[in-house]
Structure 1
């Protein structure tokens, strides 16, 4: 009697046993299900797949079932199904879908922050879906990361310039100076860790029972070592199990109060960590406009392409400030010692009632009181000032024109007042200070 496997969906039927009696039982089951649910099997779109079945039995099964014979490989729920290990070409659909999505969005006009949202919520979902079922080759993962990186910095599929920040830094949590994206290779391993967890707790899944019958055969999962004769996929899963071995013991997820394994927890266990940065809450907070936060994030990484930075990486260029023409254009000059920038920051500082910093945003942050509403207002103002100064610098470079500081600050303050009236209506310790801001 051959191994029976059944998979039933709206338009797909698989059974591989090879005797007519079993097919009759399956068909009666589907009929009973149809009476109970009102759903019917679409025989015209359903296939039967055979393995080692005699031709005369094949004919009987096809006639009784009313379905047609299918052939491997085929696609099920958007992924390829075959009896051998997938090759690089089999993963082409995931690459094509990501590239097609980028071409269809027409996203070159989006800000960095807008592209970041699309990468996290749209492009990464294709990889996450495949990662729960397959071990993606390193070349495929590298191509996916390259496409996402190119899209972030240039809005397209290909990008010939050097990225402003390395991808491994971008794939760190925001608290560690990154953008909160996931490392695709580590996420793939964490997704496989879910399967290792199911085996560990002996989950009530047909696949787990098959694994125990075929591979483990009564052996302890945590002590099990695969042999060289086992499949490549199984050996990779055992490697992930060993990497996560210290995190679950005796059916309990360690260090998380016995909670069940999740891919997110597995990812945090497997990824490499970095020291937390001091400016996280200044850049990423609930009140700052996302595109302002992204430019402020670039500032704190010293990744803005000022003339001094371009000279440092080997590009021959004059280092004189585009805006004032007096002094070398580095971050400190552009944002704090340039007369244009100093006037913008001075006007905003006077409106807020805090002193003008002489060097660096962190110095301004030290002056921020710790009351929540006041901190939110000043954080938003700092990030808006950084964004607008950088915007004016690029406008001066590409269009040879510059907006007067009074006009720029009037727009920033008007936006802040509108946001304060809409968002900070509750009573707080800063009520009097907030009222004075709106009256100025």
Structure 2
């Protein structure tokens, strides 16, 4: 879906961009499948556009992705059909009977050769990325690390800063909780 100013020149400009995209990618728009919708243009401009471009003419309002495209602001009743469809989908999710997991998470985290899916355990991934954040902060090679030192540490030592900081993000608290692990792994 492309929105343009309602003039022949504006449409020509957009089509030239599509032509250039076609040269680069090999993909082109299908004029037969394209529809032009107009709002707020004169009858003369409408005629100029339809005479120069091989697009079908559509009328507003039209539905796109479940919602009507309109020339005025949408009201509550315009959203209701979509909301009801969403509610219907959600209600079917809650009515499904759970039979339990078909496979234990520890088995899913095994390698493919061991019969698992090769997915890494989330606790392990969280630990690794937490330690990586500590390393980035301490080496000072990242803008983020410099920001943390300036705003959170404020010239204090990371290893000695108070771990009970209220109002801090969960990432920062996680990093503080990983200090013992990081200290032993160095």
TM more than 0.5: no
TM-score, with structure 2 as normaliser: 0.43
The structure with the greater share of residues assigned to helix is 1
